[in-house]
Amino acid sequence: MALAAGMILPLVAIGAVYGGFRAMSTAGCSGTVRLSVAASPEIAPAIKDAATRWLKTEPRVGNECVTVEVTPVAAAEVAAAIAGENGAKLPGVGQADGKTQVPQIWIPDSSLWLQRMRAVREDLVPQAAPSLARSPIVLAVPEPTAKSLGWLENKLTWKQILEQIVGDTRINPGIVDPNRDSVGVSTMVAMASVRDQFGAEGDALTVGAVKALTTGKSEQPSGLLARFPRDADPRTLSTAVTLAPLSEQALHAYNAAGPAVPLIAVYPDPAPIALDFPFAAMPRLSPSRAAAAEQFRSVLIGTDFRNLLAGHHLRANDGSVGAGMTLGPSAASSGGVTPVPDAAVISKALQMWVEITQPSRMLAVLDVSPVMRAQVPGAGVTRQQVALQAAQGGLDLFPDSWAVGLWSFSTGHHELVPIGPLTAQRDQLRGAIGGLKTDTKGSSGLYDTIFAAYKTVQQGWDAGRGNSVVVITGGRNNNPSGLTLDALVGALQKAENPEQPVQIIVIGIGTEVNQAEMQKIVDATGGAVFVATDPSKIGDIFMKALALDDGR
């Protein structure tokens, strides 16, 4: 038997296409069955080692010899190549890089990719794709930070985790873009469950946590890993990433390199969807290739393969570990697995990420008419104070990619800060909000202000952003010389351009806001109305409003 072997190039950047490993048996063959295998970089070395062992047994399909070529390549690149070859488009992934070839066997890091592909077109990938390995998703925290938080051995619920991300200054979170990363998708699905379970409180926590994660977003896992602290001094910890979702495999590989600050694995409860490395023999293979693929799959099980996986910090597909792999004290040795959800759940979680993190262009309009002087029952503060507190809190969550302007209104409206990049005017906006005073003598020109604000945002419409008007008000329109409700609705309908959508979001404080009237206004352009009869809940409502889809 003759054996030829290529080399695996160093995994310097996940997402690139690497040199592949090719093995074949050729003695006494009437022909050759060639199998190309595209495997996620985490498992590719174990697949290569298994192929080497298998080829030594001189496998045949009939009288044809078998060639196996293993290429480590990130799942997003293969997904884009498959979609592109079939004239399809996978949302959030972008175009194929032109270098990645569609393989006969695809081993992505997660079945989440197969579900996303099936949502585009069911025949792009096989219906059956058994898992080869497992790597739970953990939250990676530098050891000094984990000690200060008391997280060394505690299991935390997702609600507790999101509360810490939003409210604890010791946590600087990061994440890899979920559109191109299975760990990110799994994290978004878990966070979306908090949003669904806890209502307005869940909305506020999820929006706040996603926005915080955005500040530490990386396009590739290698970029995220590079942002963890290189030493444990307080200044470094205050600027480095101190919490990020990773696979258990990535965390163990990071620590195996001997960093000055090791990472601690926090296992959230319930467990996110683990990486499961499905073996996907692609549709429409020739009979000989399909037979060779099945033969190859049959050797990727058992004790020997489990030990190969352990050498690369991966568990077997049943959650057990092979020789040489040690789990942390809080890690379950096997146990139940959170199932991969259907495509609709995945799509909803990814849409949540897009809606919250997309760059936005927003004009905030704050009511300072006399109605805002009214006290909030039992709270000892006015509606104006509650509104300003909500606006300041929202401003702190807006990422630097946003453009925001500020108006106030009573009988008429006043531009306080024109719409502009937050990087240049965050402090100016904060000062303007803090300096607002309630008008003691005016009326409420709400309708005229809404129309003027809509036209202002529309005139500077930005195709690369969500464009919106956010009105925070405590009362109804009571300016007899201004627009009527019907006149406003008609003017908005006439001004609307479906190709350049501008949504109007009305956030009402207290019982004097007529929700039916406000709904007629937003129905004319798209948007939503939120009314807090308990004004102490305005902060939660403000967070929910910011997560709205802009209709593009």
The pLDDT profile of the chain, 552 residues, written as one tens digit per residue, is 333 333 333 333 333 333 455 555 455 788 999 999 999 999 999 999 999 999 999 999 999 999 999 999 999 999 999 999 999 989 888 888 888 999 999 999 999 999 999 999 999 999 999 999 999 999 999 999 999 999 987 779 999 999 999 888 899 999 999 999 999 999 999 998 888 888 767 877 888 898 889 888 898 899 999 999 999 888 888 889 999 999 999 999 999 999 999 999 999 988 999 999 999 999 999 999 999 999 999 999 999 999 999 999 999 999 999 998 988 777 766 656 788 999 999 998 998 888 778 788 999 999 999 988 887 766 677 888 888 887 887 777 677 788 999 999 998 999 999 999 988 999 999 999 999 998 888 788 999 999 999 999 999 999 888 899 999 998 788 888 889 999 999 999 999 999 999 999 998 887 788 889 999 999 999 888 988 766 566 666 766 666 564 544
Q: Is 496 exposed, middle or buried (0-12, 13-18, 19+ CB in 10 A)?
A: middle
Question: Would you state the pLDDT for residue 13?
Answer: 35
Euclidean distance between CA atoms 226 and 230, whole angstroms:
9
Token pair in block for residue 128: 């059956």
SS3 363: strand
- What is the reported pLDDT for 11? 34
Residue 509 backbone phi and psi in degrees, to 5 = -115, 120
For the chain, how far is it from start to end, CA to CA, in angstroms?
61
Of residues 125, 91, 90, the one with CA closest to residue 108: 125
Answer whether the bond into residue 270 is a cis peptide, omega within 30°. Answer: yes
Q: Is the pTM of this model over 0.85?
A: no
Query: What pLDDT does residue 548 have?
Result: 60
What is the per-residue pLDDT for 27? 59
Q: How many residues does the chain have?
A: 552
On whether the CB atoms of residues 337 and 433 are closer than 8 A, the answer is no
Predicted local distance difference test score (pLDDT) of residue 333: 63
How far apart, in whole angstroms, are the C-alpha atoms of residue 496 and residue 155? 51
Enter the tokens of residue 192: 């979306």
| pLDDT in the model for residue 443 | 84
Domains recognised in the chain with CATH numbers: 21-134+278-328 (3.40.190.10), 137-274 (3.40.190), 358-546 (3.40.50.410)
Beta strands 360-367; 466-473: pairing state:
parallel
CA distance to 465, 468, 526, per residue, from 552 (Å): 9, 12, 11
Q: What sign for the dihedral angle of Cα 144, 145, 150, 154?
A: negative
Look at residues 26, 17, 65 and name the one whose alpha carbon lies nearest to residue 289.
Answer: 65
